[in-house]
Copies of this chain bind each other. A is one copy, B any other.
Amino acid sequence: MPNLRAHNIAVSLDGFATGEGQSLETPFGHAGQRLMGHFFPTRTFVAMTGRQGGTRGIDDAFAAQAWDGIGAEIMGRNKFGWQRGPWPGESWRGWWGEQPPFRTPVIVLTHHPRPDLAVGETTFLFRDATPQEALAEAVDLAGGLDVRLGGGPTSIREFLDADLVDLLHVVVSPILLGRGVRLWDGQEGLEQRFDVETTASPSGVVHHVFSRRPR
């Protein structure tokens, strides 16, 4: 069976995966880019910007895993854009420019319909679906490869609640955001379903890998 994997989910020490006040100018709200500070120097990120070089230590090793063996992604609508409610037209094509890094089908979970959207080698499919329905379609689209659960925190919690997540990689940055959207709300006892491995990086972040125990 293909796995459902969430990688590089960055949270503050107080558990916020995104700040307050998302907008066009501030995709992560008041958090700004502070949750991603460990990611920008990595070879994986540098390559995504079309450049060469970058670090190849532990932060890059974890960053790179997100792109290995993935045939489709599922994301929440707040990862796709800052709009709320019905879509104000179809001009918004995501944060990623004309060649988004996904290069696979991407299911965007939303209660508001919108036609499929091809951008570069990525196709965004807007679906009002349960986690189970979205995963079933994504598995079909992935052609035998795994499915990435891209975030944000609200959609990750929904898939954890439905017990559909096989791997969850969380990166904790030693900052206190104080407000925003929490990743861990309502997840009491999660560790009973997962093996957890913890590694501190020289960059100051801590990588937590939750691997689903065999059912």
Contacts and interface: CB of A to CB of B under 8 A. Distances in A.
Question: How many protomers of this protein does the assembly include?
Answer: 2
A178 interface: yes
Contacts of A191: 174-176
Given A13-B184, A15-B15, A178 B174 contact: no
Contacts of A186: 178
A119 to B, nearest CB: 36
Interface in A166-199: 172, 174-179, 182, 184-191, 196, 198-199
Given A174-B196, A198-B174, A13 B208 contact: yes
Interface residues of A, number: 27
Main SS at interface, chain A:
loop
B198 A176 contact: no
A53 interface: no
A64 interface: no
B179 A188 contact: yes
A188 B196 contact: no
A95 to B, nearest CB: 25
A143 interface: no
Interface in A1-46: 13-15
22 contacts: A13-B15, A13-B184, A14-B15, A14-B182, A14-B184, A14-B185, A14-B187, A172-B206, A174-B191, A174-B196, A174-B208, A175-B191, A176-B187, A176-B188, A177-B188, A178-B188, A196-B204, A198-B200, A198-B204, A198-B205, A200-B200, A200-B206
